[in-house]
Structure 1
Amino acid sequence: MPLYPFWKVTPGGNPTILLRAQDIAPARRAAVAAGVMSPQHIGGEQVGYVRFEGVPRLDMMGGEFCLNATRAFAAVLASQGLLQRHGAVHTGEVEVSGADALVRVRVTEREDELPLAEACLHFSELPRSEACGDGLSLVRVPGIVHLVHQEGAAPLPGEGCLGAFCSDERRAFTLDGEEAVGHLWLRHADDRTDARTNSGQPRSLVLDPVVWVRDTATLCFESACGSGTLACALAEHAATGATAFAIVQPSGSALSVRMEKTEQGWDVWVGGPARLTACGETELSGLL
């Protein structure tokens, strides 16, 4: 049985396994991912399949788009010398499943700190936050749809009720056909949070993300969620006009969002620390 190179990266939470396993048929990738995520194997919250040759490419386990995995991939590419280097900053572009265009990435080395890994999405217009009543909004970002529960709306269900709640919610909004759906609970860090972020002070928020992936039939309480962070920032931007956010993840790490207006539309950068926790080769016996 051949051995497959892998990298395990924790991009501010959300431990992500990246496999260099291009010869694994797409139809088998969901099953392989489920096995590799098991605590009896490498262990993690999600799996992506990577290609380094040509334009680097990341395919997620369910074909969805994932900002955190993109940031993890950027960290691996920087460690391999596969991004352009300008001093402490590594830059480049990557292909990612679920994204229609190349995604810009940037990794900044920091003394005595983990590298800052960022990914940028460009929009001609920012995705709309659709109000659904009762403090709930729906935000569509590349590859995934998010339902954002604002503070004071439906509380986060207990573990025993979570699956049924999320299933009912997806059914109510006809989302069972989507590649992936995020169920997000967002609250302010405290009552004194400054919403005037255009003066340079990010709006501080706290996120509890739960993500369902259709093709792997998984519902995971994630320790961090990049696309969910983006969706929450878009919902807050629609409500307040703020353009910079620091959103604390269940891991305790904060991910940042910056919305920059350009002549062509908007560049939205999502960033945070990324730790390369392990790398090596793994056997996939019984999973292929």
Structure 2
Amino acid sequence: MILEFIKMNPSGNITVIVLTPVSSDLYGEVARQVMDTDMLGAEQVGFAQRPLGPGAVARLEMMGGEFCGNGCRSFGAWLMCAPYLGRRLESGFLEVVIEASGYDGQVLVRGRKERGEFWVSSPMPLPSRIQFIPLGRNEIGLVEFPGITHAVVVNEEPTFEVFWQVAEVCNCQDVPAFGVMFLSEEKLQVVPVVRVQETQSLVWEGSCASGSVAVGSILATRGNGKVKNLELKQPKGTLWVDIDLTEEDGLAQVSGPVSLVAHGKVWVEC
């Protein structure tokens, strides 16, 4: 089948969004092919769909059913290119309302265009649970979100061996999506690796939005319950995180640059 797609670069986390409607039972196979380096070389794949309810202009379904902040930022930036889909604020920012897998309600994505790329912010789900698990002399900060779980490990060497060790200790080998965020606490640098069960993929990502919220949540939990404009440097980009765990409804948001890499059509065998 021939599929229309966009290839986006949200802070280095190369994301392909398939614009042609695709049946959900094909998400895994389409994503596997699109992620192949001989094809589009994406780190993750989302699928544009019609919204389920009123008020949103479109819906983003990720390949594993998880919520993806970089996916929402990418989709939002693309939709902002169509002036009739967004709302322009007096500040010059554009707003667009979408739905997303792994998120109850609507996602208000906000951005502005700067020197050929967008600066885009997206709200994020708050953790449903945070716990700490011993790992030798260290400890794992395990942060659960709808559809994805992240383990934050501090000052450990980023390797596949450590990833699987952490997955086993956390009993997360078979969850729908699981990431390990290797955090250098002194430098505030993060190396993310994420496994998605549906596609059997294990990817060292250029950046990870939900993983960044996990890191911010751990730091907030160890502090006063908040982080503001936390700058997390990652292998191919930087994300800025705001967290407030002190209120019942709370706050989580990620921000950073998004650029369009390609827009075209691709042949997929399904």
Residue correspondence of structure 1 range 195-206 to structure 2 within 5 A:
205-206=188-189
Cα separation, 2, equivalents of 1:260 and 1:108 = 24
Secondary structure of the residue aligned to 1:170 is helix
Question: By how many angstroms is 1:6 displaced?
Answer: 0.8
Are residue 145 (structure 1) and residue 145 (structure 2) matched?
no
In structure 2, the CA distance between the partners of 1:261 and 1:234, relative to structure 1 (3 Å rule), is closer
**Who is 1:27 aligned against?**
25
Residue correspondence of structure 1 range 41-80 to structure 2 within 5 A:
41-51=39-49, 55=56, 56-80=58-82
Cα deviation, 1:92-121, whole Å, max 9, x if unaligned, reads: 3211111122222111223x3631111113
Cα separation, 2, equivalents of 1:261 and 1:183 = 22
Cα deviation, 1:171-204, whole Å, max 9, x if unaligned, reads: 33222332100111111354xxxxxxxxxxxxxx
**Who is 2:191 aligned against?**
208
Secondary structure of the residue aligned to 1:80 is coil
Q: Greater shift after overlay, 45-54 or 89-98?
A: 45-54
Cα separation, 2, equivalents of 1:64 and 1:263 = 24
Q: 1:258 aligns with which of 222, 239, 242?
A: 242
Aligned residues: 259
**Who is 1:196 aligned against?**
none
In structure 2, the CA distance between the partners of 1:122 and 1:143, relative to structure 1 (3 Å rule), is closer
In structure 2, the CA distance between the partners of 1:275 and 1:52, relative to structure 1 (3 Å rule), is farther
Question: By how many angstroms is 1:58 displaced?
Answer: 0.5
Are residue 249 (structure 1) and residue 234 (structure 2) matched?
yes
Amino acid at match of 1:274: V
Cα separation, 1, equivalents of 2:125 and 2:45 = 25
Aligned-residue Cα RMSD (Å) equals 2.1
TM-score (norm 2): 0.88
Alpha carbons 2:88, 2:94 under 8 Å: kept: yes
Cα deviation, 1:200-254, whole Å, max 9, x if unaligned, reads: xxxxx11000001011111100011000000000000011224221101111x22
**Who is 2:94 aligned against?**
90
**Who is 1:188 aligned against?**
185
Are residue 12 (structure 1) and residue 5 (structure 2) matched?
no
Cα deviation, 1:62-99, whole Å, max 9, x if unaligned, reads: 21211111111111111123221225211132111111
Cα separation, 2, equivalents of 1:68 and 1:76 = 12
The unaligned stretches of length 5 or more in structure 1 are 191-204
Secondary structure of the residue aligned to 2:40 is coil
Alpha carbons 2:34, 2:40 under 8 Å: kept: yes
Question: By how many angstroms is 1:269 displaced?
Answer: 1.4
Alpha carbons 2:154, 2:185 under 8 Å: kept: no
Cα separation, 2, equivalents of 1:183 and 1:96 = 23
Are residue 272 (structure 1) and residue 256 (structure 2) matched?
yes
Secondary structure of the residue aligned to 1:209 is strand
**Who is 1:101 aligned against?**
105
Cα deviation, 1:15-69, whole Å, max 9, x if unaligned, reads: 00000132x2222211111111112212211110012566310011121211111
Cα separation, 2, equivalents of 1:238 and 1:113 = 37
Alpha carbons 2:69, 2:122 under 8 Å: kept: yes
Are residue 120 (structure 1) and residue 123 (structure 2) matched?
yes
Secondary structure of the residue aligned to 1:4 is strand
Are residue 129 (structure 1) and residue 121 (structure 2) matched?
no
In structure 2, the CA distance between the partners of 1:262 and 1:207, relative to structure 1 (3 Å rule), is closer
Alpha carbons 2:220, 2:245 under 8 Å: kept: no
Alpha carbons 1:95, 1:101 under 8 Å: kept: yes
